[in-house]
Amino acid sequence: MIFLIFSVFITSLLFVIFKLFDVYKVNTFQAIVLNYAVALCFGFVHSEISLSVAEVPQQPWFLGATILGFLFITVFLVMGITAQKNGLSVASVAGKMSVVIPVVLGVFLYNESIGFVKIIGIILALIAVYLSSAKSDTAPVEFKNLLFPLLLFLGSGSIDTLLKYTEDTYVSKGAVPMFLSTIFGCALLFGVFFTLLQFFSKKVKLEWKTLIGGIALGVPNYYSMEFLLKALQTEGLESATIFTINNVSVVVLTTMFALLFFKEKLVKKNWIGIGLAIISILLVVSA
């Protein structure tokens, strides 16, 4: 349970760091690229197995790690934009509501059942993302305000699904740090590639605060993943229970951070959306 508690706190902290990037005008994409270099180093330090670079592509989890690396850097960027443009609470709701995606896909991948309660939970999750993105109680939600929360919702769900499938099927307990290192390494390579494209298309300036931001993001990013994977491998705790506690707690804690530290103002629709988010997670993973 201690791993789960750490994962909740550190995951919530990631949303706060993205918000601080906007406050201090840190280049979000560059900081994300640097963060994966930091996370990669931490993965190698904590790894219980030693593999040469040539041996890594031969591992059964390598393909999944490569795809996850691409998803990590793109979804991480979307998460940062959502936190900055829509607010911490919207970003956390959109990211954590994505639990419905692996639940739905579990019907096809693991022949899991889907009943009336789960269907209600999925519908409530979609409504929660919509309501939490509202800027006022009277005007309808504009597409520009809904775009990034929806992308975050779909991207986070894809990551959760592939991460759980790869971890269940191919990754042993001792291989978790190396598996994570490979994901972070692939994300770093994709990030460097995109950065080079920026260099060729326009002038890109690297500032010290971007370097500091990358380090500040990379350390909690690595540990949020390691603690979650270790929590999933804890005997006596079902993954459904872990995802329930993790996602609900992150939504609540991130909303508290938004209200206390950033004075974000939530309209009635936002509060209803957050409430539906918590209810939908409980329904989906407990049914």
* pLDDT tens digit sequence for 44-61: 787 777 777 788 899 999
Whether 225 shows a pLDDT value over 90: the answer reads no
pLDDT of 17 reads: 95
| Terminal CA-CA length for the chain | 22
Banded model confidence at residue 158, pLDDT cuts 50, 70, 90:
very high
Average pLDDT of 10-20?
A: 93
Q: Determine the Cα–Cα distance for residues 239 and 9; give it in Å rounded to an integer.
A: 18
- Under the banding of pLDDT at 50, 70 and 90, the label for residue 238 is low
Beta carbons within 8 Å of 16's beta carbon, 6+ residues apart: 88, 254, 257, 261
Q: What is the pLDDT of residues 166-220, one digit of tens each?
A: 988 888 877 888 888 899 999 999 999 988 887 777 766 778 899 999 999 999 9
Give the pLDDT band (50/70/90) at residue 138.
confident
Confidence of residue 1 (pLDDT cuts 50, 70, 90): confident
The residue assigned the tokens 């954590």 is: 96
Rounded CA Rg of the chain? 19
Output the pLDDT for position 31: 93
Residue 56: predicted pLDDT: 87
Instruction: Quick: pLDDT tens for 100-132.
Output: 788 777 777 767 667 788 788 878 888 888 888
Distance CA(51)–CA(33), nearest Å, equals 24
- Output 286 or 94, whichever has higher pLDDT: 94
What percentage of the chain exceeds 90 in pLDDT? 31
Q: What is the residue type of 115?
A: G
What is the Cβ-side half-sphere exposure of residue 98, based on CA atoms within 13 angstroms? 23
Q: With CA atoms as reference, report the closest residue to 222 among 40, 5, 69.
A: 40
What band does 164 get if pLDDT is binned at 50, 70 and 90? confident
What's residue 203's pLDDT? 63
For 129, the token pair is 């993302």
